[in-house]
Chain A
Amino acid sequence: MQIAGLFFVLLLALLLVACEPGSTPSGPGDTVSVSERMGAPPDPGFRRAERPRAFDFPADHGAHPEYATEWWYLTGNLESAQGARFGYQFTLFRVGLTPGPPAQDSPWRASQLYMGHFAVSDIEGQAHHSDERFSRAALGLAGAETGPLRVWLGSWSLQGDPASGVFPLNLQADTADFALQLTLQSGSRPRVLQGEQGWSRKSAAPGNASYYYSYTRLPSAGRIRLGTRWYAVSGNSWFDREWSSSALGEDQAGWDWFALQLQDGRDLMFYRMRGKDGQAQAFSQGVLVDEDGSVSRLNPDNTRLQPTGFWVNPDGVRYPVRWRLAVPEKHIDLQVRAAVPDQEMRHSVRYWEGAVEVSGSHSGVGYLELSGYASD
């Protein structure tokens, strides 16, 4: 999920850089595309992830305002007792506007901004519902704190257990049309530090990296509302945490990111960086997590990834929503296909993020993120 972070840098850059002269003003209500803005250098006042660090939990579950961007990223596949299947995505992004504190003349002042993306995929109904929210981190309108963990944007929140501080986590998000209330247990799977001990490098440039850890399988139960109807649901969630101050390389266009939970108990994460030439790049990587938590590293040498089918959005953008993913040395050869073809997030940033079904050598479920396809 680190890629989503890079991706988000785009949004940051877009919000912070004034429009080109003569162009129409764009606000949070406008849709923007992934663009060369990704290359915008971050404010030099923010710290950069230059070397591995010692993590400190639960403090590291909270915000790191000395870094420019950060997120709490949850996805999952859920099922009702009657067999109705759902996917969900719930993400709270933190955007550092300036490294220091804001002016102190009013409690409304803020140097941090939060953005929330929330989506529910109704697999039976082949429908995708999504919404977006923003708020400044001021006056208790949005923010992140530990003891217990609480990350919130208005009424959308991820709330830790008062006793343990973290798990079980309560997720709460609602819109006029759909809502989700979910309790996430820690389960048996340990936390996975991505990259080198949680230091995940994105390119050869020094400091172009992030701090990144994941919970790949959190048993989850709760309820989903679609319209006025509630469904009791359960399943597994995937929780990614990442913070950085880095930007995407100038030759990079986007990425394809997979988070798969296989029926045999293994979890697989892999992302492929795409250059502007459409080719996969060397910085693509991933992990295969065994049931006992042991981790094998994946890279372009041991993992093969090939799109096999496309969905075309109303604007004519082709998203690869069917894939073949193979790790021969682990005897893995998977067919990955979107559970609903249209799971495009049409908000401030346009991307495709949705539930997928896995078949082939192993069956399973997961989430797929496709970025950098829309109007480039």
Chain B
Amino acid sequence: MKRLPRLLLRAGVNYQWRHPWQAFLALAGIALGVAIVVAVDLANSAARATFEVSAKQLRGAATHRVVGPDGRVPTAAYRTLFTTPGLPPMAPVMRAWVEQSGSGRRLQLLGLDLFAEGAFREQLPGAIAAGDLRHWLNQPDRTVISAAAAASLGLSEGDSLSLQIQGRQHALQITQVHGESSAATRDLLLVDTATAEVLLGMPGFISYIDVIAGDRPPESLDALEALLPAGLRLVSIDEQTRSTVGLSAAFELNLTAMGLLALLVGLFLIYNAMSFSVVQRRDLFGRLRAIGTQPHEIYRMLLSEALVLALIGSLVGLLLGALLGQGLTRLVAQTVSELYYRVSVDALHLDPLSLLKGLALGLGGTLLAALFPAWQAASTPPATSLSRSGLERDTLRWIPFLALAGAFLVVLGLALAFLLPGGLASALLGLFALVIGAVLITPASIPLFHRLLQRLPLGGTWRFAVRDLKRHISRLGTATAALMVALSAAVSVAIMVESMRGAVGDWLHALLNADLYVAAEDFGNGARLPDGLAERVLSLPEVAQASRYRNLQLSLRERPLAVVAADLAPQSRAGFRFIQRLPEQVWTAYDRGGVLVSEPLANRVGLHAGDSLPLPTPEGERSFQVAGVFRDFASEHGRVFLPWHSYLPLWKDERINTLALFGNGQDAATLKRAVAPLASIDAPLVFTEARQIYDESLQVFDRTFRVTEVLRSLSLGVAFIGILSALMAIQLQRRKEFAVLRAVGMTRLQLARLILLESLLLGAIAALLSLPTGILMAWVLTAAVQLKAFGWSMPLTLSAAPQLLNLGMGLLAAALAALYPAWTTARHDPAPHLRED
């Protein structure tokens, strides 16, 4: 780029220097927009990185895994593989979450055979081998932990660690603390396979077998597969890990979408700030043009200005984003830990890619936002430049075209989201088209509001305020749009969360209709109820009906699939909500051996009632007819209910995880008193009332969306800055006008009221416009984005509360933004401004 003439450079610098507030607000808009995007990105990448590190550390060099039908593999199968020539190296692994007694802290127990590990996990066996091996191999209850774990548990070598495992108390002796201090080992207890077998109560079984295929010929894997007993499968760890990461991908998407929305708001602010600085300098540009400055020079001057602002704003934004990211990272890690897998986030990972992305968005976005105002400034002839009413005329002429384009974008957005087959990406693209469309329509609505409000029989300051709406449309248009976008994003997310909460609540309520649920303690880790308990419980006079459940972890197309083998009582059946068929049809097919498939699974795999679904069983793969598709929010991977009479002949295992009991009209407490004596001390039971599960589930749900709440407030904050900057710019520009008003007798209070009223009108218009926009966005979010990302659908719940809240927030933001301008303007002595020209 050629150097700018000195005069223009000075004009630009002087302008910013004389309007520090405006420069500051533009910078704040850019910085906040960049900061939010960077913070969200950092939080996401930190959570992902931590997960990957710990997953990698645990799996080490293993490339494949031999897994069993119910999460365990017979030890005998491992022996057969280990003693057969020609197979790749392998190692047995036992893994489970256990709980520290007292604190309730969850720790991962990892049972490894040190001597099979040489080629697998590099640090871990070395850590064990440094200790006394004699006792490691032949004495019970020994564990090795990392320095990080020791520090966080407050224990050291030789101490005893009390654990609660499947309802029983155990004490492990810490024989050694190894030097590893990464966060990934903080929750890890290393024990020998023998110790793990005893602690986890799985004699004759291990969790899985790790295999290093390396660059061995594929035949050796084929040979291994051929040796596997029925029910065991060889899976690639990459695929297994990917599906675990896939769990969080949906969650990440939520955050990323929020971050991008925030950026969008940020871009409006930038546009706002840029177009104000142009509008304010129209006189200057007119004079410059009159003395011979070329349009392209003005254009370049404005773009250079934007570039400088963008650079400063983006850098501040990066810094701010890094700080914000720290808090957000913790929040995301907490949510991910609660919902998906455990992650510990120690320090903020400053992912350079995230920072670069933020910088690019800040610079590119600002330049993009400045293009139109700069073009406007450069292209209007000198004569109109000098006339302000010319600008407003110009803008008014443009407005219908913008509105038309906006309407087109709205339609296009909806079509993208609902009609085109393009998956999640097209749904998100549709969402953005919808938002931009709504933004373009916004200025056109101002004259409409103006006409409407004019009819109201109000006088005085009110008439002034209403009249000003139309007079300042070029400035108010963008400010209103920015606030509208922020508010509609907030309202759409509120509606989505509320719809989802409602749907989840209904679903839980219908499904959890039993009076009492009985499970073994530690059922979360797959603990099973004692043999014969179900029969004894059913023989009690207090118990009218019972449903039995057995949870299985199978996999479908290399992704984990939760299968519930269920013997369902009539009342339990009533809790299912089917999508494609009538309940009677579904239950007839179920009783004939068909399976129930959850909606997310049906959507992911493309299953319909009547299709057949192949599942791995101990007797090899079997096909089951799909009896029906039920609404389900339990897992985005999907769930399958398998009839008990189909399960039993194949798995030949009568043990169950959960019993759901229906009483003869007594309350849950009576039922519990009747059943409790059947529990033995050896195998403690957990009794849960439906209400309790319901409350806990919704608590988890609310925690999940805590991050969303935070982001929503952040984007509102950005919008607030936007409206403040717009109002301040307007008020500053109108100082002369206000001085005249003061001079003709308007009091300070009246003037302040005028400013406040104008601002409130603006807020109200933005809030009103945000309602339909927000509802449309919510519709796209729930019916298109959620369906495509998670596979579940839900009815849209519209309640007045978020809408009213939104209106309130819009007005509040507008009022707060007006306070300072109203105060300064009213306080100023009008005389100097009258003399200004």
Contact = CB atoms under 8 A, between A and B. Distances in A.
A15 B137 CA distance: 12
Contact of A29 (B126, B140, B197): B126
B542 interface: no
A152 interface: yes
Q: How large is the interface on B (under 10, 10 to 19, 20 to 34, 35 or more residues)?
A: 35 or more
B128 interface: yes
A27 interface: yes
Contact of B130 (A18, A136, A174): A18
Interface in B348-397: none
B295 to A, nearest CB: 71
B278 to A, nearest CB: 66
A350 to B, nearest CB: 16
B137 A136 contact: yes
B88 interface: yes
B79 A18 contact: no
B148 to A, nearest CB: 15
Contacts of B556: none
Interface in A105-127: 105-111, 113
A173 B86 CA distance: 9
A17 B83 CA distance: 30
A176 interface: yes
A27 B114 contact: yes
Contact of B137 (A19, A109, A172, A179): A109
A97 interface: yes
Interface in A324-376: none
B632 interface: no
A97 B83 contact: no
Contacts of A134: 115-116, 118
Given A25-B178, A27-B114, A29-B118, A105 B83 contact: no
Interface stretch (B37-45, B188-196, B436-444): B188-196
B83 A176 contact: no
B138 A109 contact: yes
A185 interface: no
A19 B131 CA distance: 7
B133 interface: yes
Interface residues of A, number: 43
Given A30-B126, A155-B83, A108 B197 contact: yes
Contacts of B116: 134-135
B178 to A, nearest CB: 6
Contacts of B128: 27
A102 B83 contact: no
A28 interface: yes
Contacts of A111: 134, 137-138
A139 interface: yes
Nearest to A101: B138
A26 interface: yes
B134 A174 contact: no
A208 B179 CA distance: 38
Contacts of A30: 126
Interface string B191-229: 011110110000100000000001111000000000000
Interface string B117-137: 111001001111111111001
Query: Most chain-B Cβ atoms within 10 A of its Cβ — which of A19, A133, A139, A228?
Result: A139
Contacts, number: 126
A135 B113 CA distance: 8
B130 A113 contact: no
Contact of B75 (A17, A28, A103, A139): A139
Nearest to A19: B130
Contact of B129 (A25, A155, A179): A25
Given A110-B138, A139-B75, A172 B126 contact: no
A190 interface: no
A105 B75 CA distance: 15
Contacts of B82: 135, 141, 154-155
Contacts of A103: 138-140, 194
A197 interface: no
A108 B214 contact: no
Interface string B81-108: 0111111100000000000000000000
A27 B127 CA distance: 7
A310 to B, nearest CB: 31
B129 A106 contact: no
Given A109-B194, A134-B115, A139-B75, A28 B129 contact: yes
A132 B117 CA distance: 12
B118 A174 contact: no
Contacts of A203: none
A35 interface: no
A15 to B, nearest CB: 5
A139 B203 CA distance: 12
A97 B132 CA distance: 10
A135 to B, nearest CB: 5
A15 B133 contact: yes
A98 interface: yes
Contacts of A98: 134, 138
A93 to B, nearest CB: 12
Contact of B133 (A24, A97, A105, A106): A97
Given A97-B137, A102-B137, A109-B138, A141 B126 contact: no
B126 A27 contact: yes
Contacts of A179: 85-86
Contact of A172 (B85, B114, B192): B85
B83 A27 contact: no
Contacts of B131: 18
Nearest to B89: A176
Contacts of B192: 108
B583 to A, nearest CB: 49
A29 B79 contact: no
Contacts of A109: 137-138, 194
A16 interface: yes
A140 interface: yes
Interface in A139-173: 139-141, 152, 154-155, 157, 172-173
A227 to B, nearest CB: 11
Contact of B83 (A19, A110, A136, A154): A154
A179 B85 CA distance: 9
A15 B129 contact: yes
Contacts of B198: 105-106
Contacts of A26: 126, 129-130
Contact of A155 (B87, B137, B178, B217): B87
B194 A27 contact: no
A174 B49 CA distance: 38
B140 A105 contact: yes
B179 A102 contact: no
Contact of A27 (B113, B129, B214): B129
A134 B91 CA distance: 11
Interface string B57-86: 000000000000000000100010011111
A140 B138 contact: no
A108 B139 CA distance: 11
A142 to B, nearest CB: 9
A32 B131 CA distance: 16
A12 B140 CA distance: 21
Nearest to A173: B85
Contacts of A18: 130-132
Contacts of A17: 132
Interface in A13-42: 15-19, 24-30
A102 B115 CA distance: 17
23 contacts: A15-B133, A18-B131, A25-B129, A28-B118, A28-B129, A29-B118, A106-B197, A107-B194, A108-B113, A108-B193, A110-B138, A111-B134, A111-B137, A113-B137, A133-B118, A134-B116, A136-B113, A140-B83, A141-B79, A154-B82, A157-B83, A173-B85, A179-B85
Which 6 residue pairs are nearest across A and B when measured between Cβ atoms? A25-B130, A102-B138, A108-B194, A27-B129, A27-B126, A134-B115
Given A15-B129, A27-B126, A155-B83, 9 more contacts: A16-B134, A27-B118, A27-B125, A103-B140, A108-B193, A109-B194, A133-B118, A134-B118, A141-B79
